[in-house]
């Protein structure tokens, strides 16, 4: 089908006002074997934003899936142009993959804006690849559809499900307690990753792909399909077909990424037990499309929602069971039955989320539960504030019974605890001193880590879930309360208070805290305060030296530090925000 509207790619390939440049564009793109007639016939030109590579193993199978995307594009009369996206691999990139989310975003914006593309298929998977791609599509606002790569198959060892990412935290504890040796440690971790795909737990990858689907940016039911499953190829083909139709319909991210869609994402994040990185990435997408979304709304909208999906790290199962039970549509269906979803929000298939999910009941009520049988009630984030920071989040669905008994069950003050602060300046300081006996760390201590926010540790480090000293683990204390201005892995089951904003490196309250200060955390009031008199804090602020932070190692670290915002605001490049929706729709 040839488009009735003039497409933006025709400014390159069919521009009577500039025949010389048109000829130049055509001769060079023809050398790939495309004919002049194809380029000038008004067929939509569809980018395939390729995030897979040998450096990005979680997304590598997109290199093969792209062929099925091409098949779909071609069949609907489009022309596919595949191009690489800056690689982001969560476990391979130093100092942290989060540093590159905004770099991949910037690069993709330039490609989408500067080349003859009418629409784009965004191949997503590993944690930051999904937000980077959707953020760029939000800024440029050409028709865009997400194709996730899907999770790995379940990991198994000795009859037990081993979740990628999540097993690392458990294995480290076992190693520290002397229960396993180094060889068993490696075997345990390797057993969690048995196939292509992204992490099979409800870590940041599954969370962000589930939320991209909830936002309406991918075909319904597609996020949960395991990477090696035949339905992955089928959905790749259907995604290719659909993007061509979206170009004809001029269905853009701004039609889909509405305030209602973001509220749906917050609700679904609670119900799936989503990652603590979700607010950072979802708020970033909101900023780039121009929807107001405050960090506090993750609590006001999301806290009362029950945990319905029994998946690690909050629960037991992994990606295969989530898919078999119905994936995102089955979760949305259950939330819809209780009036918690804006059903009119539009999705990439041209239908509303309500229409997409009305008939998709859970196929396995043990994995995707009903409201009458939730895993945890009121399972969303709590957003705390106080003299330590303006905001920080706590994932309530991972508070264990052991933790609740020890810290939150004082009969006179339930959900309140007061502890002695142990303060570390960055992960190196933590590793050097955590077992230092002179700190006298015991059950009543709260571990703090600072200098690890977006500016302090460029990109913000995933280090807040700190392990207690080995001596405490041996005594059976598996977690202490942890607080910090960095992040933690979405695969961690630690109930840390994290993403504290503003960070210590820009003068947030954490910078004034000292080891042995008393700190009071009150989950009822949503407060976190150092019990230090105001005049003493004023003194400390006067004499405060800078929180020690590492030097920038690369030009990008330096550049990002000079213009990045705080975690609560999505950690976006602030100057980028004014360029929302840079591509306007071309006239007919
Ligand atoms: Fe890539 Fe977990 S490391 S998805
Ligand atoms: Mg991570």
Tens of pLDDT along 117-152?
999 999 999 999 999 999 999 999 999 999 999 999
364: left (phi over 0), alpha (psi -120 to 50) or beta: beta
Contact 122, 134 (CB under 8 A): yes
Residue with tokens 């889909």: 256
Average pLDDT over residues 427-435: 97
- Report the separation in Å between the CA atom of 160 and the middle of ligand 2, taken as the mean of its atom positions: 23
pLDDT grade for 478, boundaries at 50, 70 and 90: confident
Burial readout 546-565 (b: 16 or more C-beta within 10 A, e: otherwise)? ebebbeeeeebbebbbeebb
What Å distances lie between residue 393 and 274, 331, 429, 498, CA to CA? 13, 23, 23, 6
Please report the pLDDT score of residue 1 as a whole number.
52
Q: Whose CA is nearest to atom 3 of ligand 1?
A: 90
- Report the separation in Å between the CA atom of 336 and the middle of ligand 1, taken as the mean of its atom positions: 30
Mutate to test the pocket of ligand 1, among 52, 57, 58 (most ligand atoms within 8 A of CB): 58
Average pLDDT over residues 63-82: 98
Please report the pLDDT score of residue 128 as a whole number.
98
Look up residue 36 and give its two tokens.
């002049």
Closest-lying ligand 1 atom to the alpha carbon of residue 491? 2
- Report the separation in Å between the CA atom of 90 and the middle of ligand 2, taken as the mean of its atom positions: 6
Burial readout 351-366 (b: 16 or more C-beta within 10 A, e: otherwise)? ebbbebbeebbbeebe
3-state SS assignment for residue 238? helix
Please report the pLDDT score of residue 581 as a whole number.
84
Please report the pLDDT score of residue 587 as a whole number.
40
| Reduced 3-state DSSP string for 456-474 | CCCCCCECCCCCCCHHHHH
Residue with tokens 């709260």: 446
d(CA 234, CA 281) in angstroms, rounded, equals 28
Mutate to test the pocket of ligand 1, among 56, 57, 90 (most ligand atoms within 8 A of CB): 90
What tens digit of pLDDT does each residue of 313-359 get?
A: 999 999 999 999 999 999 999 999 999 999 999 999 999 999 999 99
Please report the pLDDT score of residue 424 as a whole number.
98
Burial readout 27-50 (b: 16 or more C-beta within 10 A, e: otherwise)? eebeeeebeeeebeebbbbbbbbb
Residue 173 pLDDT > 50: yes
- Report the separation in Å between the CA atom of 387 and the middle of ligand 1, taken as the mean of its atom positions: 35
3-state SS assignment for residue 378? coil
3-state SS assignment for residue 37? helix
Residue 585 pLDDT > 50: no
What tens digit of pLDDT does each residue of 182-226 get?
A: 999 998 898 899 999 999 999 999 999 999 999 999 999 999 999
The distance from CA 311 to its chain's CA centroid, rounded to whole angstroms, is 17
d(CA 272, CA 206) in angstroms, rounded, equals 10
- Report the separation in Å between the CA atom of 310 and the middle of ligand 2, taken as the mean of its atom positions: 20
Mutate to test the pocket of ligand 1, among 127, 151, 195, 202 (most ligand atoms within 8 A of CB): 127
Mutate to test the pocket of ligand 1, among 56, 97, 199, 202 (most ligand atoms within 8 A of CB): 199
- Report the separation in Å between the CA atom of 472 and the middle of ligand 2, taken as the mean of its atom positions: 26
Mean predicted lDDT score pLDDT of the chain: 95
Sequence-ordered list of residues with C-beta below 8 angstroms from that of 510, at least 6 positions apart, any chain: 388, 389, 448, 450, 483, 484, 485, 500, 503, 504
Closest-lying ligand 1 atom to the alpha carbon of residue 56? 1
| Reduced 3-state DSSP string for 187-203 | HHHHCCCCCCCECCCCC
The distance from CA 450 to its chain's CA centroid, rounded to whole angstroms, is 22
Closest-lying ligand 1 atom to the alpha carbon of residue 164? 2
Sequence-ordered list of residues with C-beta below 8 angstroms from that of 53, at least 6 positions apart, any chain: 59, 60, 63, 84, 87
| Ligand that lies nearest to the alpha carbon of residue 192, given by its number in the listed order | 1
Q: What is the ipTM of this complex?
A: 0.93
274-278, 337-341, 475-479, range with the lowest pLDDT: 475-479
Q: Whose CA is nearest to atom 1 of ligand 1?
A: 126
Who surrounds ion ligand 2 at CB < 5 A?
Answer: 90, 462, 489
Extended strands (E) in 175-251: none
Closest-lying ligand 1 atom to the alpha carbon of residue 57? 1
Residue 588 pLDDT > 60: no
C-beta neighbour count of 377 within 10 angstroms: 12
3-state SS assignment for residue 157? strand
Phi, psi (deg, nearest 5) at residue 317: -90, 180
Residue 295 pLDDT > 90: yes
Q: How far apart are the first and last CA of the chain?
A: 16
Rounded to the nearest 5 percent, the helix, strand and coil shares of the chain are: 40, 15, 45
Residue 489 pLDDT > 50: yes
HSE (side-chain half, CA atoms, 13 Å) at 271: 32
Q: Whose CA is nearest to atom 2 of ligand 1?
A: 199
| Ligand that lies nearest to the alpha carbon of residue 125, given by its number in the listed order | 1
3-state SS assignment for residue 451? coil
pLDDT grade for 107, boundaries at 50, 70 and 90: very high
Residue 492 pLDDT > 90: no
Contact 200, 157 (CB under 8 A): no
Q: Using a 6 Å CB cutoff, which residues line ligand 1?
A: 58, 90-91, 126-127, 165, 198-199, 203, 205
Average pLDDT over residues 294-312: 98
Residue 450 gets which letter from DSSP?
E
Q: Helix 278-289 crosses helix 204-214 at what angle (to 10 degrees)?
A: 40
Look up residue 355 and give its two tokens.
């229409």
d(CA 544, CA 506) in angstroms, rounded, equals 12
């Amino acid at each position: 089908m040839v488009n009735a509207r003039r497409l933006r790619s025709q400014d390159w390939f069919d521009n009577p006002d500039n025949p010389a440049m048109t000829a130049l564009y055509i001769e060079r793109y023809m050398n790939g074997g495309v004919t002049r007639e194809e380029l000038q016939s008004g067929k939509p030109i569809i980018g395939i934003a390729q995030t897979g590579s040998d450096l990005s193993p979680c997304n590598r199978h997109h290199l093969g899936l792209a062929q099925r995307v091409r098949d779909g594009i071609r069949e609907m009369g489009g022309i596919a142009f595949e191009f690489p996206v800056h690689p982001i691999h969560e476990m391979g990139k130093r100092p942290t993959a989060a540093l590159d989310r905004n770099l991949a975003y910037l690069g993709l914006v330039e490609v989408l804006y500067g080349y003859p593309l009418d629409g784009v298929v965004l191949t997503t998977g590993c944690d930051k690849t999904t937000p980077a791609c959707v953020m760029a599509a939000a800024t440029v606002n050409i028709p865009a559809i997400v194709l996730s790569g899907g999770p790995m198959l379940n990991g198994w060892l000795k009859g037990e499900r081993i979740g990628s990412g999540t097993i690392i935290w458990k294995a480290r504890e076992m190693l520290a307690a002397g229960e396993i040796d180094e060889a068993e440690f490696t075997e345990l971790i390797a057993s969690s990753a048995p196939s292509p795909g992204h992490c099979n737990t409800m870590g940041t990858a599954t969370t962000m792909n589930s939320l991209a689907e909830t936002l309406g940016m991918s075909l319904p039911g597609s996020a949960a399909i395991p990477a090696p499953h035949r339905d992955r190829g089928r959905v790749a083909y259907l995604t290719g077909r659909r993007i061509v139709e979206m170009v004809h319909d001029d269905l853009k991210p701004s039609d889909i990424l509405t305030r209602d869609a973001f509220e749906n994402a917050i609700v679904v994040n609670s119900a799936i037990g989503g990652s603590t990185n979700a607010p950072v990435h979802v708020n970033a997408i909101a900023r780039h499309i121009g929807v107001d979304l405050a960090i506090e709304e993750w609590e006001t909208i999301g806290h009362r929602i029950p945990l319905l999906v029994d998946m690690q790290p909050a629960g037991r199962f992994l990606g295969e069971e989530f898919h078999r039970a119905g994936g995102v549509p089955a979760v949305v269906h259950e939330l819809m039955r209780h009036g918690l979803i804006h059903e009119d929000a539009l999705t990439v298939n041209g239908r509303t989320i309500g229409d997409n999910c009305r008939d998709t009941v859970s196929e396995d009520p043990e994995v995707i539960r009903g409201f009458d049988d939730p895993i945890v009630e009121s399972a969303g984030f709590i957003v705390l504030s106080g003299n330590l920071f303006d905001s920080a989040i706590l994932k309530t669905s991972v508070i264990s019974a052991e933790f609740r008994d020890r810290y939150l069950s004082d009969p006179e003050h339930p959900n309140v605890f007061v502890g002695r602060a142990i303060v570390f300046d960055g992960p190196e300081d933590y590793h050097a001193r955590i077992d230092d006996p002179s700190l006298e760390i015991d059950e009543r201590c709260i571990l703090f880590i600072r200098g690890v926010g977006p500016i302090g540790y460029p990109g913000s480090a995933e280090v807040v879930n700190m392990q207690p000293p080995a001596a405490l683990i041996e005594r059976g204390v598996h977690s202490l309360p942890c607080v910090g201005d960095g992040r933690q892995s979405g695969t961690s089951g630690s109930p840390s208070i994290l993403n504290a904003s503003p960070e210590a490196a820009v003068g947030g309250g954490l910078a004034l805290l000292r080891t042995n200060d008393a700190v009071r955390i009150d989950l009822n009031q949503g407060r976190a305060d150092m019990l230090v008199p105001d005049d003493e804090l004023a003194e400390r602020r006067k004499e405060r030296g800078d929180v020690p932070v590492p030097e920038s190692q690369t030009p990008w670290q330096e550049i990002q530090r000079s213009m990045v915002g705080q975690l609560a605001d999505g950690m976006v490049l602030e100057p980028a925000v004014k360029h929302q929706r840079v591509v306007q729709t071309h006239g007919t």
